[in-house]
């Protein structure tokens, strides 16, 4: 049957006409390209609430250049990159990013042996100096491995070393964070492998600029009770790392930790520092990082 276009057009309501006009105007603004709407939506950052300041550890994304990782981090809404040397600071600054925690002394030998103190203290002071100049918050330090040393002796030696640099860190407004690592799988024989031991060291040093890097992956393996531990020792925690257990891969439904609850617990402590993603992606790295950022944006 033939359509009477004139009669059909007369049946259009005013509301229909106005809606059509509005759509046409929107299309004109967007250059008539509907894909622009989708592109604009896709450009929105994954992180919208921002109650957790998120970072990412550079070493997990070695397939990307630092420039590429910075570009993708900015798109996602991540604010910092972890575990870089000072020579990377200009690249971070170019993208308006911070270094969540700066690399310094090795895992071993560490601060638990006095013969390392002179060299390590000099290295820590140098790193604190450039970190402060850049306006970044944290420098990582390590206990070292036991190698037969008793934990109380190692604690005493770490305290002695940290007391020698705590005042300088306070002056420069940079926090020294000793990392908690698991000694079962990844870092066998490492000394700072329980939160209570690390907190004891921090308490004995007695400085607001000496704290712990609480790695959630490592501490789930060593002691569990992640949320309860965070609440108990919150005053001694200066930085966080994420990672899926087991395997240190994506923090998704394939692993045993429920990160939204952990992030909410961190927020409830009043923590304002960085939480850095330190998992090794099995899937597309940027897709995995984006998903982790959304999951932790509580």
Choose between 33 and 175: higher pLDDT.
175
Dist CA 176 CA 142 (whole Å):
10
pLDDT at position 44 is 83
What single-letter DSSP state applies at residue 102?
B
**Looking up tokens 């394939």, which residue turns up?**
254
Percent of the chain surpassing pLDDT 70: 86
Kindly report, residue by residue over 204-224, the tens digit of the pLDDT: 999 999 999 999 999 999 999
Q: Do the Cβ atoms of 192 and 219 come closer than 8 Å?
A: no
Q: At what angle do helices 285-296 and 66-76 cross, to 10 degrees?
A: 40
pLDDT band at residue 13, thresholds of 50, 70 and 90?
very low
Kindly report, residue by residue over 155-164, the tens digit of the pLDDT: 999 999 999 9
Q: Do the Cβ atoms of 195 and 216 come closer than 8 Å?
A: no
Report, as an integer, the average pLDDT of 175-200: 98
- The average confidence (pLDDT) of the chain is 89
Dist CA 190 CA 182 (whole Å):
7
State whether residue 137 is helix, strand or coil.
Answer: coil
pLDDT at position 23 is 41
Percent of the chain surpassing pLDDT 90: 85
- Containing 3, the helix (H) or strand (E) segment is none
Report, as an integer, the average pLDDT of 260-274: 98
Kindly report, residue by residue over 79-134, the tens digit of the pLDDT: 999 999 999 999 999 999 999 999 999 999 999 999 999 999 999 999 999 999 99
Q: Do the Cβ atoms of 182 and 193 come closer than 8 Å?
A: yes
Query: What superfamily does domain 48-296 belong to in CATH?
Result: Divalent-metal-dependent TIM barrel enzymes (3.20.20.150)
Kindly report, residue by residue over 151-186, the tens digit of the pLDDT: 999 999 999 999 999 999 999 999 999 999 999 999
Residue 39 has pLDDT above 60, yes or no: no
Dist CA 264 CA 289 (whole Å):
19
pLDDT at position 42 is 52
pTM, two decimal places: 0.86
Collect contacts of 258-263 with beta carbons under 8 A, ≥24 apart: 259/292, 259/295, 259/296, 260/295, 260/296, 260/298, 261/227, 262/216, 262/226, 262/227, 262/230, 263/52, 263/296, 263/297, 263/298
Residue 244 has pLDDT above 70, yes or no: yes
pLDDT at position 43 is 65
Lowest mean pLDDT: which of 11-20, 37-46, 47-56, 271-280? 11-20
Give buried/exposed letters for 102-111 (b at 16+ CB in 10 A, else e): bbbbeebbbb
Residue 36 has pLDDT above 80, yes or no: no
Report, as an integer, the average pLDDT of 242-246: 98
State whether residue 21 is helix, strand or coil.
Answer: helix
């Amino acid at each position: 049957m033939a359509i009477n276009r004139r009669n059909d057009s007369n049946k259009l309501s005013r509301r229909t006409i106005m809606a059509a006009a509005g759509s046409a105007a929107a299309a004109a603004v967007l250059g008539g390209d509907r894909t622009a709407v989708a592109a604009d939506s896709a450009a929105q950052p994954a992180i919208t609430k921002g109650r957790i300041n998120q970072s990412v550890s550079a070493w997990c994304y070695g397939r990307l250049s630092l420039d590429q990782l910075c570009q993708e981090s900015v798109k996602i809404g991540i604010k910092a990159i972890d575990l870089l040397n000072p020579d990377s600071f200009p690249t971070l600054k170019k993208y308006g990013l911070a270094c969540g925690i700066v690399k310094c002394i090795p895992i071993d030998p560490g601060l638990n042996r006095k013969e390392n103190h002179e060299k390590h203290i000099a290295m820590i002071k140098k790193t604190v100096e450039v970190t402060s100049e850049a306006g970044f918050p944290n420098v990582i330090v390590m206990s070292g491995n036991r190698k037969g040393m008793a934990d109380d002796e190692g604690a005493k030696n770490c305290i002695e070393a940290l007391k020698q640099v705590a005042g300088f860190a306070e002056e420069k407004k940079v926090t020294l964070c000793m990392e908690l690592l698991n000694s079962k799988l990844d870092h066998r024989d490492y000394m700072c492998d329980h939160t209570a031991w690390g907190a004891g060291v921090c308490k004995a040093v007695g400085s607001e600029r000496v704290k712990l890097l609480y790695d959630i992956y490592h501490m789930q393996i060593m002691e569990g009770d992640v949320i309860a531990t965070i609440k108990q020792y919150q005053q001694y925690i200066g930085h966080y790392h994420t990672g899926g257990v087991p395997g240190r891969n994506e923090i998704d439904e394939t692993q045993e930790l429920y990160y939204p609850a952990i992030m909410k617990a961190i927020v409830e402590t009043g923590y304002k520092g960085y939480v850095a993603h330190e998992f090794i992606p099995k899937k597309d790295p940027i897709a995995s990082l984006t998903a982790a950022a959304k999951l932790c944006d509580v």
